[in-house]
Structure formats: C-alpha cells, structure tokens
Amino acid sequence: MAYFHVLKSAEDRKLLLGWWHWLNEPGSRGERAQLRRAVSPEDILLTSAFANFLRKMPEHWGRSKRIQLLDAAMVAAVLARVDTEEVTKKKDEDINFAKALAKPKEKGGKAPMSELRFQQLQKSQSTDDFFRRVCRAVSLLKGKAPVLSLADDILHWLREHRYGPASKATDRLAVRWASDYYTEFKD
C-alpha cells in the first residue's frame, strides 16, 4: 500500500490524477507543451496552463503554507513530462518513484538512473537544481513514472528543503528514497 507524506488527502490525489489524465488528452497538447517548455518553476507561473491547473486543483493548492505556489508549479511542470503512468503488475507490489529509478526495464539491464545521479538528485542544493534533476530523472524513465508518488516526493523534497528534514529518520525523504532505490538497485 502506497504511503503519501504530503498528498494525504484522497481528494487531492484524485484531482491531481484527473488533471494529469486530462493533460494527456489530444485537446490538451498546447497546455502540456507550455508546461514542458519551462526551465524553472518560475516560468510556469506565467502560463495559462498553470492557471488551468490551479482551477482544477483544490483551493489550498498554491494558496497555503502546505502547498505553496512554486511547489504547485513544480509539480505541474514535472508531471507534464510524464507520458505514461508506471503501475504495478502485481497487486501486492508497490512501485514508487525511487524504486522506478532503480528498476531495470528489462531483465539483466541497468537501472534507469545511476547510483551517482541518484545521489546527486538527493543532495540537490537549490530548487532549480532539484527541478532540473527531477526532470532529468523523468527523462531517464522515458516519461513513464508513478504520477502520485512523483508528485508527493516533489512536495516532500520542497518541504524539507524549506523547513528542514524530519527529526525522525524514517520520515525523511532521503532515507525513504535510499531504502526504496537500493531495494531495487542491482550493480
């Protein structure tokens, strides 16, 4: 069963997934392209695509301390780069963003993201670095990622970057990512 650190509300997850599915419809290509062209989360704020994103999300998205405007913009911009949702084939298997980065796409193959790049992603020093690296991660996954896990991890990273990591080690994103990544990673 998936655990969400920030996206705890089922309504938030339902609306976010609904927006992402809408973004993949043929009539939404222009908005998707606007979001994909962004080189920083600030670029997103000036687009009509982001205004539409905010209209489709709950009122607190972009208007509260919990999910600030730039946080919402980063989620919209990164999810616009996801073409296909990574889903599990087995009901009891839980795939999340960090596991997807380590899980080879074919038997005996390499992890989509190397250990070094994964460590760099974890240690991003600024929101711009993190944005660039997480977009690169989605590219390495060839646009196939677990949508809700990715969004939750982005929001979790931004929260820890802003307020510091949780005092309890198991609640820290870096610890969870390392645990999930190295569960799947094979040299």
For residues 109 and 89, the model is more confident at: 109
Does the predicted TM-score (pTM) go above 0.85?
Answer: yes
Q: Which helix (H) or strand (E) holds 12?
A: helix 10-23
Average per-residue pLDDT for the chain: 91
Beta-carbon contacts of residue 130 (< 8 Å; ≥ 6 apart): 121, 124, 157, 158, 161
**What is the per-residue pLDDT across 23-56, written as a single tens digit (0 to 9) for each?**
999 999 999 999 999 888 889 999 999 999 999 9
How many CB atoms sit inside 10 A of residue 140's CB?
Answer: 16
Q: How confident is the model at residue 186 (pLDDT cuts 50, 70, 90)?
A: confident
Q: How confident is the model at residue 9 (pLDDT cuts 50, 70, 90)?
A: very high
Amino acid at 56: K
What is d(CA 131, CA 65) in angstroms, rounded to the nearest whole number?
20
